[in-house]
Amino acid sequence: MTAKENLGAELTLEEVYARFPDEWIALNVTDQGGDGESLRGRLIAHGGDRAHIYAEELAFARSHPGVHTAVFFAGPVTDPDSDAVIVF
C-alpha cells in the first residue's frame, strides 16, 4: 500500500505500530474499546515530522467538528527521562 492508499484506512493500534514504526500518527478514532488496547481509527496522517502531523490533525478536526482524534508516536520513547502521553 502506498502512503496515499493508507490515508482513510481504518486500522487497529497494532496495525498502526506494524505499518508505521517510529512515525507520528494522527487518527480519527472510530472505536476506543474499553481496555485502551483495542483502539481503532481512520488514518489522517503519518510521518516523521511531528509539527506537520499535528497541523494535519488540527485541519481535519476543524473541518469535522465533534470527531474524536488522537496524535501519538508509534515507537519507543528514546529519552529515558521523558514521559509518553497519548491524549484522546
Task: Provide the pLDDT for residue 78.
Answer: 67
d(CA 71, CA 85): 10
Task: Provide the pLDDT for residue 2.
Answer: 40
Q: The whole model's pTM is what?
A: 0.77
Distance of CA 2 to the CA centre of its chain: 17
Task: Provide the pLDDT for residue 1.
Answer: 37
pLDDT along the chain (88 residues), means of 10: 61 92 94 72 94 95 93 80 58
Nearest to 69 by CA among 83, 81, 55, 51: 55
Q: Which helix (H) or strand (E) holds 14?
A: helix 13-19
Task: Provide the pLDDT for residue 83.
Answer: 61
Type of residue found at 37? E
Task: Provide the pLDDT for residue 67.
Answer: 92
Task: Provide the pLDDT for residue 42.
Answer: 94
Nearest to 9 by CA among 37, 46, 38, 36: 46
Domain chopping of the chain, boundaries: 3-73
Task: Provide the pLDDT for residue 41.
Answer: 93
